[in-house]
Amino acid sequence: MKNEERRQLSQQKLLQAARELLRENNVHAITMNDLMERSGLSKGAIFHYVRSRDEIFIWLLNERLESVDAEFEHEVEQQQEPDFYRPMDAIIKRMMELTDPQEMTNRVFLYLLGKEEDPLIRQALQDFQRQSVQYAEHWIVRGQERGVIPATVDARFVAEYFTLIQFGLRVSHSFADTPHESRLHMSQLREHMIRSLLGMSSEPL
């Protein structure tokens, strides 16, 4: 097995182990020994790829971004004619998952925020923020290239704005008294995003 294949296989084993452990425990309770036992990898093999368990948690955040992008691209490629709504609805559906305080990457994100004084964690969170903006900008540009989003829309600005909304959803719902405390609903978020992307006024659709 080539080194790159071995690295990818080990990474997938660690990610799967982390997902399973997060379904059973809170983030703080998971140890490197837990990850070692669940993944079946030796301590040496794990530390060949990561320096700490937090790096594996960061992988989970990045994996979610990649999965949302893959879902977006799937919706785009399935179209016979350019369509604005199906790819956008796929993204909004994934965004609304962030209103669940028990959503796995929400728990990881909040845990890492609590450690942002660690230079490595701070850098990882900054990278995650940049990647979030880059993916969002890519989605908007794809829409502009296909003629379903006006070229006059500032893709970078709107991407940064949507990333701010995503991060806000992660944090604000983590301390809500009930899952339904927020007045924000998927239909409202969808309508607001449509207006932002199509340059529409604030009047009802």
Residues in Cβ contact with 132 at an 8 Å cutoff, skipping those fewer than 6 apart: 65, 163, 166, 167
Whether 110 and 143 map to the same domain: the answer is yes
Phi and psi dihedrals of 180, rounded to 5?
-105, 15
Q: Based on the structure, what is the number of domains in the chain?
A: 2
- State which of 9, 34, 50 marks the end of a domain: 50
77 pLDDT more than 80: yes
Whether 18 and 76 map to the same domain: the answer is no
> Is residue 12 domain-resident?
yes
- State the Cα–Cα distance between residues 43 and 63, nearest whole angstrom: 23
User: Residue 170: how many CB atoms within 10 A of its CB?
Assistant: 22
Whether 42 and 115 map to the same domain: the answer is no
Whether 58 and 104 map to the same domain: the answer is yes
Whether 31 and 119 map to the same domain: the answer is no
Provide the pLDDT for residue 111. Answer: 94
Whole-model pTM: value is 0.85
Element (H, E) at 119: helix 119-145
Average pLDDT, the chain: 87
Identify the domain containing residue 29 by its residue range. 1-50
> CA torsion 186→87→84→156, rounded to 10°?
90
Q: Provide mean pLDDT across the span 124-140.
A: 95
Whether 61 and 161 map to the same domain: the answer is yes
> Is residue 30 domain-resident?
yes
Region label for 40, one of left (φ > 0), alpha (ψ between -120 and 50) or beta (otherwise): left
Provide the pLDDT for residue 105. Answer: 92
Q: Are 137 and 155 in contact (CB under 8 A)?
A: yes
- State the Cα–Cα distance between residues 61 and 44, nearest whole angstrom: 24
Quote the percentage of the chain above a pLDDT of 70: 91
> Is residue 205 domain-resident?
no
Could you tell me the two tokens for 170? 């992660």
**String of DSSP letters for 164-198:** HHHHHHHHHTTS-SSTT-S---HHHHHHHHHHHHH
Q: How confident is the model at residue 204 (pLDDT cuts 50, 70, 90)?
A: very low
Whether 7 and 73 map to the same domain: the answer is no
Residues in Cβ contact with 8 at an 8 Å cutoff, skipping those fewer than 6 apart: none
Q: What is the CATH number of the domain that holds 134?
A: 1.10.357.10
Whether 107 and 181 map to the same domain: the answer is yes
Q: Are 169 and 101 in contact (CB under 8 A)?
A: no
Model pLDDT for residues 133-171, shown as the tens digit of each residue: 999 999 999 999 999 999 999 999 999 999 998 898 888
> Is residue 204 domain-resident?
no
Q: Provide mean pLDDT across the span 174-193.
A: 67
- State the Cα–Cα distance between residues 184 and 150, nearest whole angstrom: 26
Of 145 and 101, which is predicted with more confidence?
145
Model pLDDT for residues 14-71, shown as the tens digit of each residue: 999 999 999 999 999 999 999 999 999 998 888 888 888 999 999 999 999 999 999 9
Provide the pLDDT for residue 30. Answer: 95
Place of tokens 């709107």: 158
